[in-house]
Amino acid sequence: MVVLRFLLLLTLLCTCVPAQLQSLSILVKEVEVPASENRSLAIELRALIQVQIDSLTESQQYGSFSCKLNWRVTDERAIMGMAKKFIRRFVLKATFYDDALGKEFGSVAVTVTGSGSSKAAAALNALEKLEEPQKKLAQAIISAKNDHQNATSNCSELLPLMDQLITERRTADLLALSNHIGPTNTCHGKVNTLTAEVYQEQQALECSQLIRAAKLQLVAGNIAGASRILSRLDPELSCDEKADELVDQLVEKATAGELRPLDWHLRYRSNNYDRYAARRYIISQLVLNSVRYD
């Protein structure tokens, strides 16, 4: 339902979204809600806004560009009658930032009001209204994406920063940031040279651990889970022949849907391989795996 309603917003804004936005999405990493609210509200809010951002950016891959949501009550009252009714007003603030760059890229606040037979029901009703197209939020996403792209195209600032991340051994931030530097970016060649060794070291470091985890999932009969874990290994680097053996087992047992996370492994075997696209997908999986939601 969220996706269907958001398609209307995409239609309204399609002429405003430049081609360069069709790259990576923005990952909702943090959600703050009052302690008095049901914790499931934060989970639903994150999912709802993530769907909208992914739909607008036409991507479900991520790097270091993130979003923080803050949900707060600005007014509430109870109306007494035959059936008690609560009316509550909320403000949702979305802040866009990149920890690797150490910069913020703007914020936007959206106000919604909900009503219901309880405070929780009123909050849920307000949340449901956010499923409707939010032009103000979409415009802020477009603006933030443009500003972020400009920042990641400034090689004179970007390259020294990436050197610093290497010195500080902030591997996760370095790789996540490098995901935004595509082949059309003027910094791409130097960034690729700068991060190639770090990327290979990261793959070697996690190789054995991921293979063990994938084996456990396979033994448990969770083929899709095993595929998702192995998708975090670069097929071109061949960190361990056991990884190839596991892929062979999955190919024999899995359905097309269960094998989807291993698309780049299968493309590599069939010589239909895009090194940059595969690496971007793998780093995106690493970024997603590093985020924990309570």
Please report the sign of the dihedral spanned by the C-alpha atoms of residue 196, residue 288, residue 260, residue 6.
negative
Mean pLDDT of 253-265: 89
**How open is the CA angle 40-99-135, to the nearest 5 degrees?**
60
Mean pLDDT of 132-142: 87
pLDDT value at 183 more than 80: yes
Q: How do the domains of the chain map onto residue ranges?
A: 2-151, 155-290
> Looking at residue 294, what is its pLDDT?
58
| 3 or 102, greater pLDDT | 102
Residue 150 CB: number of other CB atoms within 10 A?
A: 10
Mean pLDDT of 65-70: 97
> Looking at residue 239, what is its pLDDT?
78
Mean pLDDT across the chain, nearest whole number?
A: 88
pLDDT value at 3 more than 80: no
pLDDT value at 144 more than 50: yes
> Looking at residue 23, what is its pLDDT?
76
pLDDT value at 266 more than 80: yes
Tell me if 141 sits within 8 A of 53, measured CB to CB.
Answer: yes
> Looking at residue 134, what is its pLDDT?
77
pLDDT value at 272 more than 90: no
Mean pLDDT of 18-24: 51
pLDDT value at 283 more than 60: yes
CA atoms within 13 A on the CB side of 31: 21
pLDDT tens readout for residues 74-103: 999 998 877 789 999 999 999 999 999 999
Tell me if 16 sits within 8 A of 145, measured CB to CB.
Answer: no
Phi, psi of 220 (to 5 degrees): -75, -5
pLDDT value at 227 more than 50: yes
Given pLDDT bands bounded at 50, 70 and 90, which one contains residue 64? very high
- Of 289, 288, 294, give the one whose Cα is nearest residue 61: 288
The pTM score is 0.85
Level-2 CATH architecture, domain 2-151:
2-Layer Sandwich (3.30)
> Looking at residue 282, what is its pLDDT?
93
Given pLDDT bands bounded at 50, 70 and 90, which one contains residue 290? confident
Given pLDDT bands bounded at 50, 70 and 90, which one contains residue 238? confident
Q: What is the DSSP string of the chain?
A: -HHHHHHHHHHHHTTTS-GGGSS---EEEEEE--TTS-HHHHHHHHHHHHHHHHHHHT-----SEEEEEEEEEEEEEEE-SSS-EEEEEEEEEEEEEETTTTEEEEEEEEEEEEEESSHHHHHHHHHHHTTS--HHHHHHHHHHHHHHHHHTT-HHHHHHHHHHHHHTT-HHHHHHHHTT--TTSTTHHHHHHHHHHHHHHHHHHHHHHHHHHHHHHHHTT-HHHHHHHHTTS-TTT---HHHHHHHHHHHHH--HHHHGGGHHHHHHHTT---HHHHHHHHHHHHHHHH----
> Looking at residue 293, what is its pLDDT?
64
